[in-house]
Amino acid sequence: MIKQTKLLTGAIALALSIAHGPLAAEEADLPEARTLIDRHLEASGGRDALMAQSEGTLEGEFAMPAAGMSGSLIVASRDGNERVMRIELPGIGEMKTGFSPDLGWSIDPFMGPRLIEGAEFDALAESSLPEAIVRDPSMVTATTVGQAEFLDQACWKVKLEWKSGRTTHDCYAVESGFLIATESVEVSPMGEIQTTTLMDDYQEFDGFKMATTTRVLVMGQEQVLTMNSFSMETPDPALFELPPAIQTLLEDQ
């Protein structure tokens, strides 16, 4: 159970990977990466609509099927640069992670409180920017490198070279244009880990579409996040209050 919880707290906020390699394709046949990204943005409701997701509250469910764990999920964002995620697991307790431009932290019943620092914080900070969500050219250089298949769909694999120097990959469905898979090697409390995120069942909310089922695959474990609702109203400020244990860690620095 502790090992599974470490995987969750280390990888859930930004778990990105593609498990399969690209299928062979002639370079001349590959579509431009920016064309693929723009097609996804258009299919999702447009760049402005996606960037508007930087403020609001998502509610849903979290599960680790193999461990028999499930519970409620809330992800709240405000001001485009502050986010908190809370998972309530019956019989286990609350798991909570928070991020702002100058602070990252997490707390759960197994690992206790900790501050997110160093390379782990830097990657989290970069990927949390609204410009990163829409793969803005100011943040990333994109190159189409081949094809792959996920969720029984053919997709174009795009290599992303970020301003910070890290490298990740996206995969855009050939038919629908939606982003359906991503890949990266993420920094976690357990070191570097390779993860896979699969995004499915896009539905419309307030003028834009987003995946309502996300499966995170990491080190043989599967985490499933199911979205039930999304509100663009300003989140409850109480969600962003620092837990006393995190305040103590900051005072002890």
Do 167 and 173 contact (CB within 8 A), yes or no?
no
Say if residues 217 and 195 touch (Cβ distance below 8 Å): yes
pLDDT recorded at residue 26: 53
pTM of the entire structure?
A: 0.83
**Nearest alpha carbon to residue 246 among 125, 117, 111, 114:** 114
Q: Which residues contact 215 (CB under 8 A, 6 or more apart)?
A: 197, 198, 200, 222, 223, 224, 225
What is the C-alpha separation between 148 and 155, in angstroms, rounded?
Answer: 5
Task: Give the pLDDT confidence score for residue 18 in this predicted structure.
Answer: 30
Alpha-carbon dihedral angle through residues 43, 45, 51, 53, given to the nearest 10 degrees: -110
- CA distances for 173 relative to 4, 183, 244, angstroms: 31, 15, 44
Write phi, then psi, for 185 (nearest 5 degrees).
-105, 115
Rounded CA separation 25/147 (Å): 7
Phi and psi of 54, rounded to 5°?
A: -70, -5
Q: In whole angstroms, what separates CA 232 from the centre of its chain?
A: 18
CA 144 to chain centre: 21
Distance of alpha carbon 164 from the chain centroid: 18
- The reported pLDDT for the residue numbered 80 is 76
For residue 202, the tally of other CB atoms under 10 A from its CB is: 18
User: For the chain, which domains are there?
Assistant: 2-247 (2.50.20)
Q: Per-residue pLDDT tens, the chain, 253 aa: give them.
A: 333 333 333 333 333 233 333 444 455 589 999 999 999 999 999 988 777 667 889 999 999 999 899 999 999 998 878 999 999 999 999 999 999 989 999 999 988 999 999 888 988 888 888 888 899 999 999 999 999 999 999 999 999 999 988 999 999 999 999 999 999 887 777 778 888 999 999 999 877 899 999 999 988 889 999 999 998 888 999 999 999 999 999 998 8
| pLDDT number for residue 253 | 81
In 3D space, the residue among 233, 182, 221, 242 whose CA is nearest the CA of residue 10 turns out to be 221
Q: What is the pLDDT of residue 27?
A: 57
What's the DSSP call for residue 165?
Answer: S
Spatial neighbors of 75 by CB under 8 A, at least 6 apart, are 57, 58, 83, 84, 85, 86
Count how many Cα atoms sit within 13 Å of the Cα of residue 128 in the half-sphere of its side chain: 26
End-to-end CA distance of the chain: 30
